[in-house]
Amino acid sequence: MATTVAFTSKGREIVAGRLIGTSPTQAEPKNLGWGTGAGTAAATDVAPFTEAAESRVAGTSSQVTTTSTSDTYQVVGTLTSASGQTITETFLSDSSSKPQSTTLSAAISTTGATSISVTSASGFPGSGNYNIQIDSEVLTVTGGQGTTTWTVTRGVNGSTAATHSSGATVTGGNTPGSTAVTNGNLMIHASFTGLALNTGDSLTATTKLSFS
């Protein structure tokens, strides 16, 4: 199974903050989730592509040895499928709750488009700028908050502007450098060739962050 694993920009911020003590209330990012979205995990990601219906689970964390003693952070968790579905991504977050999400009500047909239409704005902020993720692109909503037509800045956080199909999932994501954690912070994101599951099938994921 081909797998891409990304240590996100926000994840690096979490680790650095905990080391220096500037984030004493930062929750440990050991909540495991999975999804069915299309895309390749990247450090620029601020949210899963399309999170599946199952609740996130708190994994068991430990320090293990890769090269030198206890040089690797490891989280092991098990998720059980409530339906027949194909899983294409797993991730670790500091939140047990899912971020707000909606879908595109119209395709984004060009990489230069600065206005997007969504099915619902429920759960998203009614004011202020905030980040969203569609497939592998991160966008900043700068206008239209609280409505279903948003003005956006494309390809932010180092991601690349792309076209997106009508019905694509739109997920709220934290902005690196922000102290707000209402959407949860994505620390590690992995994408892989689709794994077809039946109802009741379980997947145990072992996620490691090794320093070399």
Q: Mind listing the pLDDT tens digit of every residue in the chain (212 residues)?
A: 568 899 998 888 888 877 776 666 678 899 999 999 988 999 999 999 999 999 999 999 999 999 999 999 999 999 999 999 999 999 999 899 998 999 999 999 999 999 999 999 998 988 888 899 999 999 999 999 999 999 999 999 999 999 999 999 999 987 665 544 356 789 999 999 999 999 999 999 999 998 77
Boundaries of every domain in the chain: 1-96+184-212, 100-182
Contact 195, 87 (CB under 8 A): yes
Tell how far CA 82 is from the center of its chain: 21
Determine whether 36 is exposed, middle or buried from the number of CB atoms within 10 Å of its CB (0-12, 13-18, 19+).
middle
Kindly provide the residue ranges of all beta strands, DSSP E only, lying in the chain, ordered along the sequence.
3-7, 31-35, 57-58, 60-64, 72-80, 85-93, 101-103, 115-117, 130-134, 137-143, 149-153, 169-173, 186-197, 202-210
CA distance 137 to 75: 27
Dig out the tokens for 76 from the structure: 């092991």
- Taking the alpha carbons of 191, 195, 199, 203 in that order, is the dihedral positive or negative? negative
